[in-house]
Amino acid sequence: MFLECLKGIIVDVVEMRAREAGIVYAPQGNKFYDGKRVFTFGRMSIYLDRNVIFAFNVETQQWAPIALDHLLSIC
């Protein structure tokens, strides 16, 4: 139950920060990675797993954890 609350909070925070920064944050159709919905966040693809944001690194072709502030700074 507690983890579900945290998941809801991180989703809300990501959405709020994107809106404040004028960054597009939206689901990428029916795209999923490891069972998690993939979102567009500016020019990045991200997904949320528990309270961690993962972004797709096009150079390494891998998903990696990323801090929200860093994500905002590169979008």
Q: In whole angstroms, what is the distance from residue 27 CA to residue 18 CA?
A: 13
Domain ranges of the chain: 2-74
Tokens (6 digits) for 22: 């004028």
End-to-end CA distance of the chain: 32
For residue 73, the SS3 value is helix
| pLDDT tens per residue across span 11-68 | 889 999 999 999 999 999 999 999 999 999 999 999 999 889 999 999 999 999 999 9
* Sheet bearing 25-33, strands edge to edge: 25-33, 36-41, 44-49, 52-57, 62-65
**pTM for this predicted structure:** 0.86
- How does pLDDT run across 22-31, given as a tens digit for each residue? 999 999 999 9
